[in-house]
Structure 1
Amino acid sequence: MNQEKTPATAGFWMPAEWAIHERCWMAWPCRQEAWPTNINLETIRAAYADVAQSIAAFEPVTMVAHPQDADNAAHMLGGAAEVLPLPIDDSWLRDNGPTFLVSDAGECAGIDWQFNAWGNKYHSYSADNAVAGHILQHLQLHRFVAPLVMEGGSFHTDGEGTLLITEQCQLNPNRNPHLSRADIEAYLRNYLGAKKIIWLAGNTYDEETDGHVDNAACFTAAGTVLAMQDDNDALLQENIRRLHNATDAEGRQLRVLTLPRPPICKRDDFAPASYINFYLANGGVIMPSFGIKEDDTAHSIIAEAFPNRKITSVPANVIVAGGGGIHCITQQQPAGN
């Protein structure tokens, strides 16, 4: 690893998602095959537009769209988002878009990870692998090219050097089979500014992403973690056990809050639905709802976790049927010079 070219040696790190945003980035759906055949592209796009319009009430949104779909995106978004035409293969920008960083001087930069469609699950993905670089070039931000496969939904930070990741995803041989656990930790320290890495187990029913952490646990504040609970899922139970025994980069014992797994949205016998898969906007939380009684309980828990934010519930059944959630289709750009 070339230490002279990493974000950490240049003074950059990844801030927490509750830091002030410049804008939110999304990508317009164009790959029908990622969804069940009974959900058409127009319905999928309407679900994405609903999320974008909800976020736009709090902060600007830029929607990346394949050039042939740019007019359709602009029409369906109704002015809620700027549309940036770029070649894309799919619409999960959290995972293939840039991970934005900040420095002490207030500069903003981005990481361009390698992307292989969650372990070669979809083809092709060459355009999606190039999107991060195109976005950073468009923004005229410094681009750090990371020589490893990594998706933005596979890690979560408190902005103070503590990182949550899962063994199920990070150690999966379909990502970086040549790297050891120690190698992956070294990259995360050098590219995200991690000082303390907490390895969680994963999520049994999330095989689409191989257990991305954004379906299992996230920080709600420094020292506080929200974790998905399901007594029938040994991996989720193990996550909570490890969190209760963990300390953060500042040496604080973690406070652990739990949210129930929503008992819906099964796809091929897997259920990637999670209330934790929400987006933190400036002053707001855009959270998923599924039209079930558990929605009210989840709303109350999230409102308690974020007492100074307006909670907006957005129907997410269609998005989850594609294998992800609201957090998966969004990417925050922190405010910077």
Structure 2
Amino acid sequence: MITDSQTNFIYLADTLKLKYPKFSNDFQKILKQAGVDFSFLPNTKDVWAVDYMPIQINENEFVQFQYHPDYLIDTIKWKKTISDTDLICEKIGLKTKKSEIILDGGNVIKSDNKVIMCDKIFLENSEIEFKELVKQLETLFQVDKITFIPTHPLDKIGHADGILRFYDEQTVLLNQFSNDDKKFEIACKASLKNAGIDFIEIPYNPYQNTKNIDATGIYINYLEVGNTIILPVFGISEDDEAVKKFEVLFPNHNILTLKSCDLAKDGGVLNCITWNVYNNLASLGKRHNT
């Protein structure tokens, strides 16, 4: 698998500039400051690019899953926000391998040879037998092991990128849950332990948010591209603690911060809006930079 630290280029949805103009300008400035190459995906209908764009398996192979989220398809209003990924890929000249499995990219946490996902994927693909679905995923991802963690009971979206990220092949960074999440925390840590995966806890505080969808206080949804990490901050007391923690954990990385309140209130942060790729799309992307 191509991991975030191996990527060298990111795509953002062109709708980001329309829906969050100030945030988009601030984000572009910080990407340029960090020397991160980026471009905009054309013809998008929402900003959450990681969810509907393909998963990069190796330098020349991309798997396109079915973007058919149950949290969007039930109403005409939200169904209209589902982007046509085939059209987007055609516009940027990308050929993909198609899968009939329903899967959002935000539910795929990658290391070199492992993947972690929330178990909501079994609900979304209930017509496929459990073992067969796991086998198909392992084959498509070309990994030896997929670990499934529980879906947070308040998360109707069911994405693992709001819970944990790989730190190295045997360790993940995990939200430091409070007593309010004790049952979920125990189940999540048990899944990791059973898979032989260690964890390091990082600051986490969405507990003052008035809506379940609000991602304020979720630092795990950071952007990592190459040796650059851009950490979302929210103007809360945990911001400084999170920055110091990441500076210790990633001493060889360029750690930057970006105020992400408006974005977070709509349900996502920096990993949600970025589609990272390695190398073979970089020159193509620059031709489409707008």
Q: What is the TM-score with the length of structure 1 in the denominator? A: 0.74
Aligned to 1:239: 188
Post-superposition offset of 1:269: 4.4
Q: How many residues align?
A: 273
Query: For 2:266, which of 322, 325, 330 is the aligned residue?
Result: 322
Residue 112 of structure 1 aligns to a residue in which SS? strand
Unpaired runs of 5+ residues, structure 2, are: 282-290
Aligned to 1:152: 105
Post-superposition offset of 1:232: 1.5
Q: Which amino acid aligns with 1:184?
A: L
Post-superposition offset of 1:331: 0.9
Matches within 5 A, 1:284-299: 284-299=228-243
User: Could you tell me how far apart the structure 2 residues matched to 1:142 and 1:58 are?
Assistant: 27
Post-superposition offset of 1:125: 4.3
User: Could you tell me how far apart the structure 2 residues matched to 1:100 and 1:213 are?
Assistant: 17
User: Could you tell me how far apart the structure 2 residues matched to 1:92 and 1:59 are?
Assistant: 19
Query: For 2:63, which of 111, 116, 120 is the aligned residue?
Result: 111
User: Could you tell me how far apart the structure 1 residues matched to 2:251 and 2:16 are?
Assistant: 37
Contact 2:116 2:147 survives alignment (8 Å): yes
Tell whether 2:28 aligns with 1:28. no
Mean Cα deviation higher: 307-316 or 226-235: 226-235
User: Could you tell me how far apart the structure 1 residues matched to 2:162 and 2:98 are?
Assistant: 26
Aligned to 1:73: none
Aligned to 1:198: 147
Matches within 5 A, 1:269-288: 269-273=212-216, 274-288=218-232
Q: Which amino acid aligns with 1:145?
A: K
Q: Which amino acid aligns with 2:159?
A: H
Matches within 5 A, 1:243-282: 243-247=192-196, 254-263=197-206, 266-273=209-216, 274-282=218-226
Q: Kindly provide the CA deviation profile for residues 262-284 of structure 1, in whole angstroms up to 9, marking residues without a partner as x.
A: 23672534543411001102221
User: Could you tell me how far apart the structure 1 residues matched to 2:7 and 2:212 are?
Assistant: 38
Contact 2:223 2:230 survives alignment (8 Å): yes
How much is the aligned-residue C-alpha RMSD, in angstroms? 2.3
Unpaired runs of 5+ residues, structure 1, are: 1-13, 32-40, 65-85, 248-253
What percent identity do the matched residue pairs reach?
20
Higher relative contact order (CA closer than 8 Å, sequence separation 6+): 2
Q: Kindly provide the CA deviation profile for residues 133-190 of structure 1, in whole angstroms up to 9, marking residues without a partner as x.
A: 344434444310111211111011111x2111111x2123xx3231233233122212
Aligned to 2:172: 225
Tell whether 2:27 aligns with 1:51. yes
Contact 1:203 1:236 survives alignment (8 Å): no
User: Could you tell me how far apart the structure 1 residues matched to 2:101 and 2:191 are?
Assistant: 26
Tell whether 2:6 aligns with 1:19. yes
Aligned to 2:284: none
Contact 1:100 1:110 survives alignment (8 Å): yes
Q: Which amino acid aligns with 1:215?
A: G
Q: Kindly provide the CA deviation profile for residues 251-298 of structure 1, in whole angstroms up to 9, marking residues without a partner as x.
A: xxx331011322367253454341100110222101110111111111
Seen in structure 2, the aligned counterparts of structure 1 residues 92 and 117 have a Cα distance that, compared at 3 Å, is: same
User: Could you tell me how far apart the structure 2 residues matched to 1:166 and 1:312 are?
Assistant: 28
